[in-house]
């Protein structure tokens, strides 16, 4: 199964005008009224999860401590969205400057087993492990953390992408610790393509 691995850079590409793929920083063109607020601590959410000092349950899906949603491009304005009048941490801005095709090391006959917690622990071997640099990816098969799938959303949701807490950035000397994903976790995003709903959770 084919994945796409992003090349990430701190430096804004010269051709990055208007809407452009990125992680972190301020959202582009999002109405301030749509910036979601954590229902546990009233911290502003950005990039799907609460970064508040209080330990909110940001790893859970759909309880109001993280958010994942689609908007039609026509609904987006121009320019960065100003931060609402609440104290919040904005994650570092990382620009996607390319995509590397990567064939996931999961045999097709095991594609369904990858989401079974028992089979994940028993059937997947070291030679199927993804390189650490490929644990942030778009498409293909989800690559679960050491504890296997724990919060798998029910159908019709299907896997879209994952973001590891530690990111390789082309113009940085060391890996970037990108927010708090439970100290060493990975963020997973699943979508329902019929309703264009999205849900996000964090696994360790």
Tell me how far apart the alpha carbons of residues 73 and 30 are, in angstroms, rounded to a whole number.
10
Whether the predicted pLDDT of 37 surpasses 70: no
Please report the sign of the dihedral spanned by the C-alpha atoms of residue 187, residue 84, residue 76, residue 80: negative
Structure tokens at 125: 């071997």
Lowest mean pLDDT among 14-18, 41-45, 122-126: 41-45
pTM comes to 0.86
Tell me how far apart the alpha carbons of residues 15 and 12 are, in angstroms, rounded to a whole number.
8
Whether the predicted pLDDT of 94 surpasses 70: yes
Whether the predicted pLDDT of 47 surpasses 70: no
Whether the predicted pLDDT of 144 surpasses 70: yes
79 versus 56: the higher-pLDDT residue is: 79
Query: Using CB atoms within 10 A of its CB, is residue 125 exposed (0-12), middle (13-18) or buried (19+)?
Result: exposed
Nearest to 151 by CA among 63, 82, 76: 63
């Amino acid at each position: 199964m084919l994945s796409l691995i992003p090349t990430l850079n701190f430096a804004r590409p010269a051709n990055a005008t208007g809407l452009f793929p990125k992680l972190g920083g301020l959202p582009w063109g999002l109405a301030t009224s749509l910036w979601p607020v954590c229902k546990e601590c009233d911290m502003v959410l950005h990039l799907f999860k609460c970064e508040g000092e209080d330990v909110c349950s940001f790893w859970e899906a759909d309880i109001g401590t993280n958010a994942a949603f689609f908007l039609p491009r026509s609904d987006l304005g121009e320019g960065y969205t100003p931060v609402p009048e609440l104290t919040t941490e904005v994650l570092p801005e990382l620009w996607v400057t390319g995509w590397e095709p990567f064939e996931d090391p999961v045999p097709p006959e095991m594609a369904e087993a990858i989401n079974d917690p028992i089979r994940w622990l028993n059937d997947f071997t070291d030679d199927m492990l993804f390189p650490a640099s490929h644990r942030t990816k778009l498409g293909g098969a989800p690559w679960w953390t050491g504890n296997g799938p724990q919060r798998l959303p029910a159908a019709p949701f299907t896997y879209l992408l994952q973001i590891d807490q530690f990111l390789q950035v082309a113009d940085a000397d060391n890996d970037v610790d990108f927010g708090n994903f439970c100290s060493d976790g990975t963020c997973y995003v699943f979508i329902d393509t019929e309703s264009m709903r999205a849900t996000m959770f964090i696994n360790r």
